[in-house]
Structure 1
Amino acid sequence: MAPSLPDVAAGDDPDDRADDRPVLVADIGGTNTRVALARGTEILSDSTRRYRNADYPGLESLLRRYLAEAGRPDCAGACAAVAGPVREGVASMTNLDWTIERDTLSRAAGTDRVALLNDLQAQGHALGHIAPDALAPVLDGVAAGPNAAKLVIGVGTGFNVAPVYDTAAGRYVTPSEAGHADLPIRTAADMRLCHFLATAHGFPSVEDVLSGRGIEHLYAWLGTEVHDPREARAAEIMEAVAGGGDARAADAARIFVTFLGRVAGDLALIHLPFGGIYLSGGVARAFAPHLAGFGFAAAFRDKGRFAGFMGNFGVTVIEDDYAALTGCAVHLNRLSLAA
């Protein structure tokens, strides 16, 4: 059976599909929310705004602020991408104490045509609509047909993945919560890292390493390894990596890239994304200049007798910070055309 589409409520008037009113799109992350207006599949120029989630008690007040600043446009629809699972019209944030309902989005935007997506699903819907200069190749793959499966891996405040399937019935982007799977381990040092994470956080998950706070965990763990405990923020660690003045920061980054390669390689074997793997999110973009130097390719292809097979999968970094907004617009447009 084909995966079901996310919950959507369509307006009563079929002619609404032909009007020229904008739609409201939002990308709700663990730290920030990006909001914009779109017409069709295009984000309207200069309409994008970013807000700190900590400044608002919930999504409704944030969206009302945006719409007031935008001149209170009459919206034909609204779609929000949420960093957390969506079920039965309700989204639970993984790294933020917000619960978002379809009715909340409808009330804030003043429209009955609304949809909620997981944020990685929105990234998946954006594929094919992202400007070529916002796609940075990391590894070359083998050319594949237009309907080959693709995979989006999001590395930001959290970690998650979304497989993308183009079928005769349309595009399906299936959700997951893959960041909370077990961290893969191979060495004695990996096991010590897992014990450190379990002691501090209760469970050594992929997201505990491959996320913004993950690089902080690695930096702190390396300090315990040499009995010189120190902590640093992710931004400080990445600045030190770029500056080359902190060996511990470089070691933390190298371990991060190794795990990213391993996990991405495992996911490639699970989903067989011959159409390519796409890394998205602020942390993925921050690491993009360091992937080659810290051994991403070797870790990705380190699969024993399947090492050669791994050359089938290309890897690309999505450098468009607003790709999820485009994905929301694309998804809502497809739902409107199908209504």
Structure 2
Amino acid sequence: MSHPDNTYSLVADIGGTNTRVALADGRRIVDGTVRRYSNSDFPGLESVLKRYIADEDGVDPIAACVAVAGPVRDGRAAMTNLDWTIDKETLGRATRAETVAILNDLQAQGHALDHLDPANIRSILTGPEPKNNAAKLVVGVGTGFNAAPVFDLESGRMVPPSECGHANLPIRNEMELRLCQFVSTAHGFPAVEDVLSGRGLERVYAFFGNEADDPRERAAKDIMTACANGSDERAVEAARLFTRILGTVCGNLSLIQLPFGGVYLVGGVARAFAPHLSTFGFGEAFRDKGRFAGFMSNFAVHVIEDDYAALTGSAAHLVALSN
């Protein structure tokens, strides 16, 4: 269907595997305009956006914002898990929009908070009722791992960028030390993302095979399926260790940022793990902070089950820019 010119914003969520694009009317994603494209089919973002505009009958957006899975600096983004470089000039040329913006994908998720349907938010750990403008934390677990704090200031919402998925993986016991050594042998550096991601789950599964002198490989989606139906004890073992390390890392980040407004897990892997977090020990690992164990109960933890939250956040950011 055709759209009025210079009325809607174009928003995009660029992951390591797929790019989602949609039109937004203010903060609201326009029904029926969300399209998903496989990144492997395109040489870069410009060709994706031009395809989308053509698919939407040559829509002429008034503004455009893209959320990128990678660091953004001085209006330029480099994808962490994809060989694309994105800048405002390219975004403006592709969309012909008057206003353009580029966010890290976790920044977009942070801007989405308070604009999502509560039905799409699953609570994992409860906490005290937060005060207005309490800091929040978004933690992304998908193709990669990242996290970003969310601060509501008098001047508006601020979501500082981060690349904490590339920090060292924490080690709590002998098994986790062996896991770090296994990951280091294969990849040179035991970063958080090397374990807490879709590929990371596959590495944890391979690690247990190495431990048992029975090496086998499985894709992340197959591990989660086997975990859900109980057909592979190794899959359950891998998911349980993954969950506990996720709890430890989220607990560490919470002590750094003090998100009294809540911790929000986002991303495809986080959504897949949501039904298992409680039974696999996320809460125990999250609160296992010695004399600060009781203090950790100040932080509620939720999973955002809206696959298009980053699109909403990009739209909300454009609204803030226009005010």
Normalised-by-shorter TM-score class: over 0.9
Q: For residue 92 of structure 1, what is the amino acid of its counterpart?
A: A
The unaligned stretches of length 5 or more in structure 2 are none
State whether structure 2 residue 219 is matched by structure 1 residue 219: no
Indicate conservation of the 8 Å contact 1:20/1:39, yes or no: no
| Partner in structure 2 of residue 11 of structure 1 | none
Residue 300 of structure 1 pairs with residue 286 of structure 2: yes
TM-score in terms of structure 2 length: 0.98
Is residue 144 from structure 1 mapped to residue 130 from structure 2 by the alignment?
Answer: yes
Query: Quick check: 2:147–2:164 contact (8 Å CA) kept in 1?
Result: yes
Cα distance, 1:112 vs structure 2? 3.1
Please name the residue that 1:58 is paired with. Answer: 44
**For each residue in 1:287-326, what CA deviation from the matched residue of structure 2 results, as whole angstroms up to 9, or x when unmatched?**
0000011011100010111111000000000000000000
What do residues 71-103 of structure 1 show as CA deviations (whole Å, max 9, x unaligned)?
111110100000000011110000001011111
Alpha-carbon distance in structure 1 between the residues aligned to 2:304 and 2:130:
19
Q: Aligned match of 2:151 in 153, 161, 165?
A: 165
Aligned with 2:297: secondary structure?
helix
Q: CA deviation at 1:142?
A: 1.0
CA deviations 1:196-247 (Å, max 9, x no partner) are 1011001000001100001000000100001001111001101100110100
- Among residues 76, 87, 90, which one is paired with 2:73 in the alignment? 87
CA distance in 2, matches of 1:133, 1:89: 34
- Count of aligned pairs between the two proteins: 319
- Cα distance, 1:336 vs structure 2: 1.1
SS of aligned partner of 1:160:
strand
Structure 1 runs of 4+ off > 3 angstroms?
none
Q: Which residue of 1 aligns with 2:188?
A: 202
What CA deviation, in whole Å up to 9, does each residue of 1:115-135 have, x standing for no partner?
Answer: 000000000000000001000
Q: CA deviation at 1:20?
A: 6.4
> What SS does the aligned partner of 1:254 have?
helix
Q: Deviations over 1:19-61 (max 9, x none)?
A: 9600100000011100000011110001001111011100000
Is structure 2 residue 286 aligned with structure 1 residue 310?
no
- Residue identity matched to 2:241: I
In 2, the alpha carbon distance for the partners of 1:336 and 1:20 equals 14
| Whole-Å separation in 1 of the counterparts to 2:6 and 2:80 | 35
Cα pair 2:66 2:102 within 8 Å, conserved: yes
Instruction: Report the AA paired with residue 122 of structure 1.
Output: A
Aligned pair 1:133/2:119, yes or no? yes
Partner residue, 1:8: none
Answer yes or no: is 1:253 the counterpart of 2:239: yes
What is the CA–CA distance in structure 2 between the aligned matches of 1:20 and 1:133, rounded to whole Å?
32
Alignment equivalent of 1:118, drawn from 83, 104, 116:
104
Letter in 1 for 2:311: L
Q: Distance in 1 between matches of 2:6 and 2:91?
A: 20
CA displacement, residues 172-207 of structure 1 (integer Å, 9 cap, x when unaligned): 001000000000001111111111101100100000
Q: Deviations over 1:145-168 (max 9, x none)?
A: 111000000000000001000011
TM-score by length of 1: 0.93
- Between the aligned partners of 1:53 and 1:327, the Cα distance in structure 2 is 21
What residue is the counterpart of 1:153 in the other structure? 139
